[in-house]
C-alpha cells in the first residue's frame, strides 16, 4: 500500500468529518511533539474542538492516531522532496535531507511509538526511499555526490544524526552540515 492510499483511505469523505479528522491529527501532532506519545487523548480532542467520541470514532486506538500523524508527517517530507526538484542536484538533495533530519529530530518519540513491522511504517519508509532515491541519483549523475552511496546509506545517516541529543538547534545544524560534507563527491 502506498502512502497516498494510506492518507486517502483513512480520511473521511464528508466535509465536516474530514475537517474533524484533520483537526484531530493537527492537535495530536502538536501534543505528541510537546508531551510525547503518551499525551492525553482527551486533551487532543479538546484542542481539536471535538468530543472524545469523535476522536475515538476516527481513531479507535492511540496507535491508530499515532499512525495517522506519522503518515501525514511523512507525506509532508515527501511532498517537500518533490518540490525541491528545481534546485541544482546537490541543493535539492541537501535541502530534502535537512528537512528530513529536522523532521526526524522533532518526531523521534512519534517514530518510536510505532511498530516497525506495521504496514503503515513500511509504506512510509518506502515513500521516503522513493522520494530520496531520485534526488540522490540526480546528484550522483551530476558528480556532486559520492558514487558509492545508495539511498539506504544516506537515510541511515539521517537517522544516525537524530539519535543523539544536541545542546541547541544550532549544534544539530552544524553536525548535519559536517555529515552532509561526507556525502559530497570529492570532485564537487
pLDDT in tens, 62-106: 888 988 888 888 888 999 999 998 999 999 999 999 998 888 766
Q: Is 152 exposed, middle or buried (0-12, 13-18, 19+ CB in 10 A)?
A: exposed
Separation between Cα atoms, residue 74 and residue 97, nearest integer Å? 13
Question: What's the rounded mean pLDDT across residues 141-168?
Answer: 91
Residue 129 lies in a domain: yes
Q: 72: helix, coil or strand?
A: helix
Residue 188 lies in a domain: no
- pLDDT: which is higher, 3 or 38: 38
153 lies in which domain range?
3-183
Q: What is the DSSP letter of 104?
A: H
Question: What's the rounded mean pLDDT across residues 34-45?
Answer: 89
Residue 30 lies in a domain: yes
- pLDDT: which is higher, 34 or 81: 81
pLDDT above 60 (res 188): no
pLDDT above 90 (res 23): yes
Provide the grid cell at 60. Answer: 479507535
Q: Could you give the number of structural domains in the chain?
A: 1
- pLDDT: which is higher, 122 or 55: 55
b or e along 3-28 (b: 16 or more beta carbons within 10 Å of the residue's beta carbon)? Answer: beebeeebbeeeeeeeebbebbbebb
- CATH number, domain with residue 38: 1.10.357.10
| H or E element, residue 16 | helix 15-35
Residue 19 lies in a domain: yes
160 alpha-carbon distance from chain centroid: 15
pLDDT in the model for residue 37: 82
Separation between Cα atoms, residue 61 and residue 95, nearest integer Å? 35
Separation between Cα atoms, residue 10 and residue 168, nearest integer Å? 37
- Which range has the top average pLDDT, 72-86, 135-149, 153-167? 135-149
pLDDT above 80 (res 32): yes
Amino acid at each position: 500500500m502506498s502512502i497516498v492510499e494510506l492518507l486517502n483511505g483513512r480520511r473521511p469523505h464528508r466535509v465536516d468529518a474530514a475537517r474533524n479528522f484533520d483537526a484531530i491529527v493537527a492537535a495530536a501532532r502538536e501534543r505528541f511533539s510537546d508531551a510525547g506519545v503518551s499525551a492525553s487523548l482527551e486533551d487532543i480532542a479538546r484542542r481539536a474542538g471535538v468530543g472524545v467520541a469523535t476522536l475515538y470514532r476516527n481513531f479507535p486506538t492511540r496507535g491508530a492516531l499515532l499512525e495517522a500523524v506519522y503518515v501525514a508527517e511523512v507525506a509532508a517530507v515527501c511532498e517537500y522532496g518533490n518540490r525541491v526538484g528545481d534546485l541544482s542536484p546537490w541543493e535539492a538533495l541537501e535541502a530534502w535531507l535537512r528537512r528530513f533530519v529536522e523532521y526526524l529530530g522533532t518526531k523521534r518519540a512519534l517514530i518510536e511509538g510505532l511498530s516497525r513491522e506495521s504496514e503503515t511504517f513500511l509504506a512510509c519508509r518506502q515513500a521516503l526511499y522513493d522520494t530520496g532515491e531520485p534526488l540522490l541519483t540526480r546528484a550522483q549523475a551530476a558528480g556532486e555526490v559520492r558514487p558509492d552511496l545508495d539511498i539506504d546509506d544516506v537515510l541511515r545517516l539521517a537517522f544516525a544524526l537524530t539519535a543523539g541529543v544536541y545542546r541547541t538547534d544550532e549544534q544539530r545544524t552544524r553536525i548535519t552540515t559536517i555529515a552532509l560534507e561526507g556525502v559530497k563527491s570529492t570532485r564537487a
